[in-house]
Amino acid sequence: MLEIIKYPSSELKKISEAVSVFDSHLHSFLDELAQTMYGANGVGLAAPQVGKLIRAFVIDVAPQEDKKRRLYEFINPKIVSGEGKISFEEGCLSIPGFSEEVERKAKIALEYQDRFGNRQEMTAENLLAVAIQHENDHLDGILFIDRLSPLKRTLMRRKLSKAVTF
Ligand code: CO
């Protein structure tokens, strides 16, 4: 398991760089990233959350009890279009103990590369679309709390400051 960096570390605000080498080092890192996500019971985890500033993340939105897991790996992703709106209560492995509703695009089209560097494209909607937008934000140093309204953010700061009791 890799160590997950927690808010308010400034590491989470950094911009990640494009992946250019698709070798066995990348593959083992992606495997570890997925193991760390599953171990932490998350539905997504981005490379910068474990201190590696590369444009890559993993997602699996299948329910925990579902034996048929579906692991997605996205490298150098680019959201090329989006439509509709969806509000979903989001949490983040880097901000334990806090969740809030965030509004995102309901349906997106995405271009990315797989672990071998092959160019891929897909469309996603609902929970998968939300997860992709959340993780993609991490690559640009944006957290879901940055997407809250100013009022909700103030309430959040109060909640978070109460949550840290050690
Ligand atoms: Co997150």
Confidence band for 165, pLDDT divided at 50, 70 and 90: low
Q: How far is the CA of 125 from the centre of ligand 1 (A)?
A: 18
Confidence band for 56, pLDDT divided at 50, 70 and 90: very high
Ion ligand 1: residues, CB within 5 A, are 92
pTM of the model: 0.94
Q: What angle do CA 139, 5, 104 make, to 5 degrees?
A: 40
Mean pLDDT over 20-29 rounds to 98
pLDDT, averaged across the chain:
94
pLDDT of residue 103: 95
Contact 54, 107 (CB under 8 A): no
Kindly tell me the burial class for residue 70, based on how many C-beta atoms sit within 10 Å of its own C-beta (0-12, 13-18, 19 or more): exposed
pLDDT of residue 69: 83
Q: How far is the CA of 83 from the centre of ligand 1 (A)?
A: 22
What is the chain's alpha carbon radius of gyration, rounded to the nearest angstrom?
A: 16
Contact 56, 74 (CB under 8 A): yes
| 104-152 pLDDT, tens digit each | 999 999 999 999 999 999 999 999 999 999 999 999 999 999 999 888 8
Helices (H), 22-121: 24-39
Q: How far is the CA of 84 from the centre of ligand 1 (A)?
A: 22
Q: Quote the CA–CA distance of 77 and 79 in Å, as a whole number.
A: 7
The residues that are catalytic are 135
Tell me whether strands 56-59 and 119-125 are parallel, antiparallel or unpaired. Answer: unpaired
Residue 132's nearest CA partner among 64, 86, 65, 63 is 86
Q: Is residue 1 predicted with pLDDT exceeding 80?
A: yes
Structure tokens at 76: 């150098």
pLDDT of residue 153: 85
Higher-confidence residue of 166 and 111: namely 111
Contact 10, 17 (CB under 8 A): no
pLDDT of residue 160: 79
Q: How far is the CA of 49 from the centre of ligand 1 (A)?
A: 8
Q: Quote the CA–CA distance of 78 and 61 in Å, as a whole number.
A: 20
Q: Could you tell me the domains of the chain?
A: 10-163 (3.90.45.10)
Confidence band for 51, pLDDT divided at 50, 70 and 90: very high
Share of the chain above pLDDT 90, in %: 83
Residue 134's nearest CA partner among 50, 43, 73, 70 is 43
